[in-house]
């Protein structure tokens, strides 16, 4: 089984976020980038298939050269090889189109991704990728088994979960539950050294036409001052909620 794992290169959630050029560009100075956490859950599941079923695992990123350390970390975790599509990931559809080209050229059976990236939280790419490749698709996956050509996938739904039967080829958008946080792997020294020798192929994009442009970024408004009301002063609390907060 050939597995392709889609990797997003995203800012660490502890990074301080700033913008430049009149708030039209993200300022990367001083920002630590990591593997998108949802993608890391899916990568860890792919490693299970590699170890238990002899699958081969390729990781792919659509982005510029700054994403290569993130791909190398995925190689250190245990992926066999990596592909970087050399273009700026300006919108979800452009990313999906480039990933679809990689899928079609590589003959992959199973495509794993996170349900969304933690930077833009669009949640669009896995579904669009499935449509462009005409693969089956399961979103929000929290459990995955593959037996030959048969796939059993569990996904979250409102109020619970459901288990679906499908077949390869398929795109799976995973999240926590497809593996647990305790299953995530930290690259050891041997893995890091081996990752330096594993192939990382850079391919040019099929198209650089973007469907969307960023007009501006805006930070959330700072938190306002807090007013403390004595627990026994219900009338004052109601007055503040009604006349100042205007929530009742």
pLDDT grade for 60, boundaries at 50, 70 and 90: very high
Question: What mean pLDDT, rounded, does the chain reach?
Answer: 94
Residue at 35 is within a domain: yes
Does some domain include residue 165? yes
Q: Is the pLDDT of residue 220 over 90?
A: no
Lowest mean pLDDT among 29-43, 157-171, 203-217: 203-217
Judged by phi (left if over 0) then psi (alpha if -120 to 50, else beta), residue 97 lies in alpha
The DSSP code for 17 is P
Domain annotation covers residue 49: yes
Does some domain include residue 225? no
Would you call 123 helix, strand, or coil by DSSP? coil
Confidence (pTM): 0.87
Answer yes or no: is 160 within a domain. Answer: yes
Give the span between the Cα atoms of 174 and 126, in whole angstroms.
10
Q: Which residue has the higher pLDDT, 35 or 210?
A: 35
Structural domains in the chain (count): 1
Residue 239 included in any domain: no
Model confidence at 107, in pLDDT bands (50, 70, 90)?
very high
pLDDT for the residue 2: 97
Q: State the average pLDDT over residues 192-201.
A: 94
pLDDT of residue 19: 92
Q: Structural domain of residue 183, as residue ranges?
A: 2-220
CATH code of the domain containing 206: 3.40.50.620
Q: Which pLDDT score, from 0 to 100, does residue 116 have?
A: 95
SS3 string, 194-227, reads: HHCCCCEEEEECCCCCCCCCCCCCCCCCCCCCCC
Please check the confidence at residue 168 and state whether its pLDDT lies above 90: yes
Give me the helix-helix angle, 92-106 and 125-133, nearest 10°.
40
Q: What is the mean pLDDT of residues 174-199?
A: 93
Is residue 179 domain-resident?
Answer: yes
236 within some domain:
no
């Amino acid at each position: 089984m050939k597995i392709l794992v889609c990797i997003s290169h995203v800012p660490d959630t502890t990074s301080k976020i700033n913008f430049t050029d009149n708030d039209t560009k993200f300022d990367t100075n001083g920002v630590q980038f990591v593997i998108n956490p949802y993608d890391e859950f899916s990568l860890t599941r792919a490693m299970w298939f590699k170890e238990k079923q002899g699958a081969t695992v390729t990781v792919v990123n659509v982005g510029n050269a700054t994403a290569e350390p993130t791909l190398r970390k995925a190689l250190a975790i245990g992926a066999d090889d990596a592909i970087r599509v050399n273009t700026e990931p300006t919108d979800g559809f452009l990313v999906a189109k480039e990933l679809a080209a990689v899928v079609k050229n590589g003959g992959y059976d199973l495509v794993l991704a996170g349900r969304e990236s933690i930077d833009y939280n669009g949640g669009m790419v896995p579904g669009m990728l499935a449509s462009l490749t005409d693969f089956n698709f399961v979103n929000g996956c929290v459990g995955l088994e593959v037996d030959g050509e048969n796939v059993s996938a569990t996904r979250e739904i409102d109020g619970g979960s459901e288990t679906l039967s499908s077949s390869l080829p398929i795109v799976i958008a995973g999240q926590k539950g497809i593996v647990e946080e305790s299953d995530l792997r930290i690259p050891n020294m041997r893995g890091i050294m081996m990752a330096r020798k594993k192939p990382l192929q850079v391919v040019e994009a099929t198209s650089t036409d973007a469907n969307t442009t960023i007009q501006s970024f805006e930070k959330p408004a700072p938190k306002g001052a807090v007013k403390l009301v004595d627990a026994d002063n219900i009338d004052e609390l109601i007055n503040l909620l009604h006349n100042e907060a205007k929530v009742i």
